[in-house]
Amino acid sequence: MKGMGNMMKQAQKLQAKMIKLQDELAERTVTASAGGGMIEVTANGRQQITGIVIDPEVVDPEDVDMLQDLVMAAVNDALNKSQEMVSQEMGKLAPGMNIPGLF
């Protein structure tokens, strides 16, 4: 039973570290761009888009499809970078642990 108590304490410590890290990651951001920097998107560690910057030169009323494609590409890239950041940081907490759906 002692082993089970120690395991529970370790799990509680890990959970507390994970919560703290999630809060820290919410404050960290990544930026992605598309169209040679004409579109920039920023996302945080909670996979929330926190900013979009569009260079006025890329806004062409005759080619809205291109603008939409560039925005979508930058958003997807920012979200992917954010997920990678979270996975790397969570992986540092519990090396060797492979818990599906956790990170």
- Give the number of other Cβ atoms within 10 Å of residue 79's Cβ: 17
The mean per-residue pLDDT over the stretch 5-15 comes to: 83
**pLDDT value of residue 69:** 97
Question: Where are the domains positioned within the chain?
Answer: 2-93
pTM check: above 0.85: no
Q: What pLDDT digit, counting tens, does each position of 29-86 carry?
A: 999 999 999 999 999 999 999 999 999 999 999 999 999 999 999 999 999 999 999 9
Residue 17 in this model has a pLDDT that exceeds 90: no
**pLDDT value of residue 97:** 54
**pLDDT value of residue 103:** 46
CATH number of 2-93: 3.30.1310.10
- Give the number of other Cβ atoms within 10 Å of residue 22's Cβ: 14
Residue 7 in this model has a pLDDT that exceeds 50: yes
